[in-house]
């Protein structure tokens, strides 16, 4: 998908097709599997059927990326101390790759609301040379997990939170932390 590549778009497209560079673009939207899902692809609740053809953030490159060792430095997320999420990535292919890393959260319950299936909180795009390993870190604070109730007051429930890296992709990894509020 090249959108409107213009008069200078043919050279980069040819370079990708002939293997001179590895594609690194990822979808900025969700492409639904069925026509009736098209109206619901901006936001999906946990209770909705969600099986898109290609989810937000989907993309392919010529190098195989291996994600491992998803860890958090604290088992509980405290209001006064954020946690750091660590992950290791290895470029097991022969091409250098620009790879997006997206951190999502999922909470199991919010009073009066249907929760999102995955809520994107952080993202980064890193260049990883072929055959190398790199470490990625994100910091997540309690205030980022709050939501506004019916009275427009920011609240947070003391429930577990799933932290997922690259949700709905073959590279998805999840770890669970508890909220201490």
* In the chain, alpha helices (H): 10-17
pLDDT number for residue 44: 54
pLDDT number for residue 113: 62
CA distance 91 to 85: 20
Output the CA–CA distances (angstroms, integers) from residue 161 to 2, 71, 108, 145, 158, in the order listed.
37, 14, 7, 9, 9
pLDDT number for residue 88: 94
How long a stretch of residues is the chain?
Answer: 181
CA distance 18 to 16: 6
pLDDT number for residue 39: 60
- Show the low-confidence residues of the chain (pLDDT under 50): 41
Q: Which domains does the chain have, with CATH numbers?
A: 10-179 (2.60.40.10)
Quote the tokens at residue 96.
Answer: 């250098």
Q: Can you tell me whether residue 156 is helix, strand or coil?
A: coil
Q: Can you tell me whether residue 172 is helix, strand or coil?
A: coil
Q: Which pLDDT tens digit goes with each residue over 133-173?
A: 999 999 998 888 877 777 888 777 667 888 888 877 777 88
pLDDT number for residue 112: 59
CA distance 11 to 45: 41
Spacing of C-alpha 21 from chain mean position: 24
CA distance 7 to 34: 34
pLDDT number for residue 156: 75
Number of Cβ within 10 Å of residue 69's Cβ equals 10
pTM of the model: 0.78
């Amino acid at each position: 998908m090249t959108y409107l590549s213009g008069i200078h778009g043919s050279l980069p497209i040819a370079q990708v097709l002939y293997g001179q560079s590895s594609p690194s673009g990822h979808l900025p939207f969700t492409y639904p599997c069925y026509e009736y899902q098209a109206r619901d692809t901006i936001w999906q609740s946990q209770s909705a059927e969600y099986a898109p053809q290609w989810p937000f953030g989907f993309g392919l490159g010529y190098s195989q990326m291996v994600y491992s060792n998803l860890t958090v430095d604290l088992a509980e997320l405290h209001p006064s101390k954020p946690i750091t999420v660590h992950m290791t990535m290895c470029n097991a292919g022969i091409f250098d790759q620009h790879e997006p890393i997206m951190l999502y959260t999922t909470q199991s319950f919010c009073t009066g609301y249907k929760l999102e299936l995955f809520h994107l909180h952080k993202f980064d795009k890193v260049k990883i040379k072929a055959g190398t390993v790199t470490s990625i870190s994100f910091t997540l604070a309690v205030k980022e997990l709050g939501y506004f109730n019916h009275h427009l007051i920011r609240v947070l429930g003391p429930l577990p939170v799933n932290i997922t890296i690259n949700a709905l992709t073959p590279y998805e990894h999840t770890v669970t932390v508890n909220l201490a509020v």
